[in-house]
A and B are shown apart, each in its own frame.
Chain A
């Protein structure tokens, strides 16, 4: 009897132990999370409603298939950093609803619009410098680039200043790395 039970259990276990490739459930892109803060004066620390009405972000020199991002009214945004180089630039417009034209082409047309249209006066270019760290996520997800922020700079049409809050840019979506202070006059 014990032989039969032993064989039966072994066969059941062999049939049940079916290993499958696991799906990748981890974000594979580092989330560069930024938060906009709008102060009423240069000297106050009290922020008004910091939501931007219709922000747009465009990656300068990006050659990917995704090249412009529109957001509804909100104050926090997620960008990405380029794994090709140790720096990258994003063009930022706080209210893209004011654009006079509707480009239907590629990134170059959008950049051309931003710098020739009425939006040009409110477009800011933010430049980020960082170090790239190749990081193993898992066998299912493979590798990803995480980053260590060195510095951040911006033109000052509407941006007053930048403050790096956390230098580590990983796939943690809950950490805000950069705070962007909007000019009080905006």
Chain B
């Protein structure tokens, strides 16, 4: 018996290369740090994080473009992240989408919204407190509420009937939960606008709960009939920066004589 192949992404090798490329600079940075550390005997002095507040709001341009190339499927993703301290960001993402399956033997419609919550950790040393370019790794916990309409099916039987056996499976809502591991880069383009890509490995946590008809597409996740998928984003961000309290106090105080 043949092994079923429910999906065929031909991008896996390229995404693997992207992951390697994303990690190499960080490894090189670590090696450089190691060499530098062996050349000096001075104990490392941890400098206080003097970064200000940094909030970014972004939209995923990749899926906006991708929607035009995949018929009967749409997905929109938005993101926001906020800098905490020590190269750590907290991220909140969301979106919505839908798909129509119009195969000859199966037709149904799905729609869903989703939310993702997690953190990013920058891998690059910053040149100064205003440097928000970074290469990062991150993790997300995601949830989606999927609504699936009635699924019409057709079963052909050349032995017992000349006419195909048709029927319908009642639609129902269900929840999907998954985790993501991601890596990517972000660079400042102009002013407060920055851009960057990231690649994500996603792992479904509750695929058994909708095995009566695993949806072909879940916005924010990808192929709902696969337990793990890869995906990419290309975000355009608008950043808002402001000072922390101690920075404002420091700036108000008169310079020491």
Contact = CB atoms under 8 A, between A and B. Distances in A.
Contact of B106 (A19, A139, A171): A139
Given A140-B6, A142-B154, A19 B160 contact: no
Interface string B165-208: 10101000000000000000101010000011101000000000
A17 B62 CA distance: 11
B6 A22 contact: yes
Nearest to B69: A18
Classify the interface of chain B: helix, strand, loop or mixed: loop
B160 A83 contact: yes
Nearest to A138: B6
Given A10-B62, A14-B234, A23-B5, A139 B159 contact: no
Contacts, number: 149
B37 interface: no
Interface in B1-52: 1-11, 14-15, 18, 21
Contact of B160 (A10, A82, A174): A82
Given A62-B159, A143-B153, A137 B4 contact: yes
Interface string B132-146: 010000000000000
A13 interface: yes
Interface of B: 1-11, 14-15, 18, 21, 62, 65-66, 69-70, 101, 103, 105-106, 133, 153-155, 157-162, 165, 167, 169, 185, 187, 189, 195-197, 199, 211-214, 216, 223, 225, 232, 234
